Amino acid sequence: MSKEESEIVGWLIFIGFIFWMATMHRQIEYTQTKHMIPKGLIKFPEWTKICDLRGYGSWYVDFKTAKFDGVYKYAWVMASFEQPLTGGRYGDTGSILSYMQFDCLRAKKRFRGLRAVSYSEAMLKGEVVDQIDRPDIWSTQGSNLEPGSPQNLLLVTLCTAKIPREENAN
């Protein structure tokens, strides 16, 4: 398997995990979902594209709302797909908004999603498909994060970003 194919497979495994987690939770009404997301984030995000998924879509980070509490970094991450992912329990998913926690101080850096909302269309448009409002397991460099994978690129990008320290960042 080539490095490019490995990266794509890694991304698909990550998305599969998100859908698996979605099946573990009940669907939340949109009125509850919208309270989870900061009001200004959806209307005025400053998305920075950090990774092209070679025909599948792209990952973006909103560095404007990123926070650092002295131990962990937190950021909103968007995965937007060129074609909606189909076959999930709750229908087609065109994009996913995740609030993520990054542990950059360990020898083997790691990250996990704390919350996620999936949308029926790309770039967080369309209907809310599902919400996950509980932490994922940690993804750690060297175990389930391959060097050069989109997930590892996301981790390295956030860990090297200059994010000011803030009390109560979570």
For residues 119 and 22, the answer to whether their CB atoms sit within 8 Å is no
Given this model, what pLDDT does residue 21 score? Answer: 43
Instruction: Give residue 88's pLDDT.
Output: 67
Residue 125 lies in a domain: yes
Q: How high is the pLDDT of residue 19?
A: 45
pTM score, two decimals? 0.71
- pLDDT tens across 136-160, in order? 889 887 776 788 888 888 898 999 9
Residue 10: CB atoms within 10 Å = 18
Is the residue at 24 inside a domain? yes
Residue 135: domain span: 3-34+44-160
Q: Assess if residue 168 is contained within a domain.
A: no
The pairing of beta strand 93-103 with beta strand 72-85: antiparallel
d(CA 126, CA 145): 31
Return per-residue pLDDT of the chain as tens, 170 residues: 566 655 665 555 555 545 444 433 333 333 333 434 544 444 467 999 998 877 789 999 999 999 999 999 999 999 999 988 887 655 689 999 999 999 999 888 899 999 999 999 999 999 998 888 888 889 887 776 788 888 888 898 999 999 988 866 66
CA distances, 162 to each of 27, 68, 73, 90, 102 (Å): 36, 9, 10, 37, 13
Q: Mark out the alpha helices in the chain (DSSP H runs).
A: 3-23, 30-36, 39-43, 150-160
| Beta carbons within 10 angstroms of residue 93's beta carbon | 25
Instruction: Supply the CATH number for residue 49's domain.
Output: 2.40.128.710
Report pLDDT for 31: 32
118: number of Cβ within 10 Å: 29
pLDDT, position 45: 77
Q: Which residues pair with 14 in a beta bridge?
A: none
Question: Is 165 part of a structural domain of the chain?
Answer: no
Q: Is residue 138 part of a domain?
A: yes
pLDDT at 15: 57
User: Would 141 be classed as within a structural domain?
Assistant: yes
- Domains in the chain: how many in total? 1
Confirm whether 167 is domain-assigned: no
